[in-house]
Amino acid sequence: MKLSLKDISLKTRMKMHQIAERTLKENELISYILNKTPLPNQLTFLTYPTEELLYGGMAGGGKSEALLLAALQYVEEKFIPEGENRLTYDALILRRSLDDLEMPNAILDRAKQWLLPLEDTGLVYYKDLKKKFTFSSGATLTFRYLAHNNDLMKYQGAELQYIGFDELTQFPENQYQYLHSRLRKTEDNPIPLRMRAGTNPGGRGNDWVKKKFITGNVPFVPASYLENKYLDQEDYTRQLEKLDPLTKQQLMYGSWDAYAGNWLLITVDDFENSLRVLPDDKLLFSVVGVDSASTGQDKFACTLISLYQTGLMWLSDMVATRKMNQEEILFTFLEQHHDKNIKLIAFEREPGSDSTFAKKYWQGLLPKYNVVDFSPQGSKFVRARPVGQSIREKRLFINKDIKESLINELRNQFGYIHPLKEKMKEYPSPDLLDSTDYAHMGVMKILENKTRVTIL
Ligand SMILES: Nc1ncnc2c1ncn2[C@@H]1O[C@H](COP(=O)(O)OP(=O)(O)O)[C@@H](O)[C@H]1O
Ligand SMILES: [Mg+2]
**pLDDT at residue number 455:** 42
Domain coverage including residue 375: 268-447
**pLDDT at residue number 353:** 61
- In sequence order, the 6+-apart residues with CB closer than 8 A to the CB of 331 are none
Q: Are residues 274 and 242 in the same domain?
A: no
CA 302 to each of CA 159, 315, 347, 348, 387: distance values in angstroms, whole numbers, following the listed order: 55, 11, 10, 12, 15
**pLDDT at residue number 327:** 93
Beta strand 283-291 pairing with 300-308: antiparallel
CA 456 to each of CA 128, 317, 387: distance values in angstroms, whole numbers, following the listed order: 78, 22, 24
Q: Are residues 222 and 327 in the same domain?
A: no
Distance 272 CA to ligand 1 centre (A): 35
Query: The CATH number of the domain where 323 resides is what?
Result: 3.30.420.320
The answer for 393, left when phi > 0, alpha when psi is -120 to 50, beta otherwise, is alpha
Question: Does any domain span residue 254?
Answer: no
**pLDDT at residue number 366:** 93
**pLDDT at residue number 203:** 75
Exposed / middle / buried, residue 211 (Cβ in 10 Å: 0-12, 13-18, 19+): middle
**pLDDT at residue number 456:** 40
Question: Does any domain span residue 430?
Answer: yes
Question: Does any domain span residue 410?
Answer: yes
Among the bound ligands, the one closest to the CA of 56: 1
Q: Are residues 411 and 356 in the same domain?
A: yes
What's the whole-model pTM score?
A: 0.66
Task: Say yes or no: CB of residue 67 within 6 Å of ligand 1.
Answer: no
Q: Are residues 211 and 92 in the same domain?
A: yes
- Closest C-alpha residue for ligand 1 atom 2: 38
Q: Are residues 296 and 243 in the same domain?
A: no
Q: Are residues 147 and 234 in the same domain?
A: yes
Given the CA of residue 68, which atom of ligand 1 is nearest to it? 17
Judge whether 422 and 379 are in contact, CB under 8 Å.
Answer: no
- In sequence order, the 6+-apart residues with CB closer than 8 A to the CB of 358 are 292, 347, 349, 350, 373
Q: Average pLDDT for consecutive 10-residue bins of the chain (456 residues)?
A: 89 97 97 97 97 94 97 97 93 94 95 97 96 98 93 92 96 94 91 97 86 95 94 93 78 82 85 94 97 81 97 97 90 97 92 75 92 88 94 97 89 89 81 97 88 46
Sheet with 140-145, side-by-side order of all strands: 124-127, 132-135, 140-145, 90-95, 162-166, 194-199, 52-57, 220-223
Q: Are residues 238 and 289 in the same domain?
A: no
Most informative mutation of 65, 103, 247 for ligand 1 (most atoms within 8 A of CB)? 65
- Closest C-alpha residue for ligand 1 atom 19: 62
Distance 56 CA to ligand 2 centre (A): 10
Neighbours of 378 (CB within 10 A): 10
**pLDDT at residue number 296:** 67
Q: Are residues 155 and 287 in the same domain?
A: no
Distance 346 CA to ligand 2 centre (A): 47
Judge whether 441 and 346 are in contact, CB under 8 Å.
Answer: yes
Task: Say yes or no: CB of residue 445 within 6 Å of ligand 1.
Answer: no
**pLDDT at residue number 5:** 81
Q: Are residues 172 and 24 in the same domain?
A: yes
Among the bound ligands, the one closest to the CA of 35: 1
**pLDDT at residue number 449:** 74
**pLDDT at residue number 453:** 47
Question: Does any domain span residue 175?
Answer: yes
Distance 212 CA to ligand 2 centre (A): 21
From 298, 214, 204, select the one nearest 255 (Cα to Cα).
Answer: 214
- Closest C-alpha residue for ligand 1 atom 17: 62
Question: Does any domain span residue 258?
Answer: no
Among the bound ligands, the one closest to the CA of 55: 1
Question: Does any domain span residue 289?
Answer: yes
Question: Does any domain span residue 132?
Answer: yes
Task: Say yes or no: CB of residue 42 within 6 Å of ligand 1.
Answer: yes
Judge whether 295 and 417 are in contact, CB under 8 Å.
Answer: no
Task: Say yes or no: CB of residue 60 within 6 Å of ligand 1.
Answer: yes
From 56, 62, 406, 59, select the one nearest 251 (Cα to Cα).
Answer: 59
Q: Are residues 220 and 275 in the same domain?
A: no
Question: Does any domain span residue 317?
Answer: yes
Distance 255 CA to ligand 2 centre (A): 17
Asked which of 214, 247, 280 is the last residue of a domain, the reply is: 247
Among the bound ligands, the one closest to the CA of 66: 1
SS (H, E, C) the chain: CECCHHHCCHHHHHHHHHHHHHHHHCCHHHHHHCCCCCCHHHHHHHHCCCCEEEEEECCCCCHHHHHHHHHHCCCCHHHCCCCCCCCCCEEEEEECCHHHHHCCCCHHHHHHHHHHHHHHHCCEEEECCCCEEEECCCCEEEEEECCCHHHHHHHCCCCECEEEEECHHHCCHHHHHHHHCCECCCCCCCCCCEEEEEECCCCCCHHHHHHHHHCCCCCEEEECHHHCCCCCHHHHHHHHHCCCHHHHHHHCCCCCCCCCCCCCCCCHHHHHHHEECCCCCCEEEEEEEEECCCCCCCCEEEEEEEEECCCCEEEEEEEEECCCCHHHHHHHHHHHCCCCCEEEEEEECCCCCCCCHHHHHHHHHCCCCCEEEECCCCCHHHHHHHHHHHHHCCCEEEECCCCHHHHHHHHHHHHHCCCCHHHHCCCCCCHHHHHHHHHHHHHHHHHCCCCCCCCC
Given the CA of residue 110, which atom of ligand 1 is nearest to it? 27
Domain count, the chain: 2
Q: Are residues 182 and 311 in the same domain?
A: no
First-residue to last-residue Cα distance in the chain: 54
What is the C-alpha separation between 321 and 405, in angstroms, rounded? 12
Task: Say yes or no: CB of residue 62 within 6 Å of ligand 1.
Answer: yes
From 266, 270, 330, select the one nearest 303 (Cα to Cα).
Answer: 330
Query: The CATH number of the domain where 166 resides is what?
Result: 3.40.50.300
**pLDDT at residue number 260:** 65
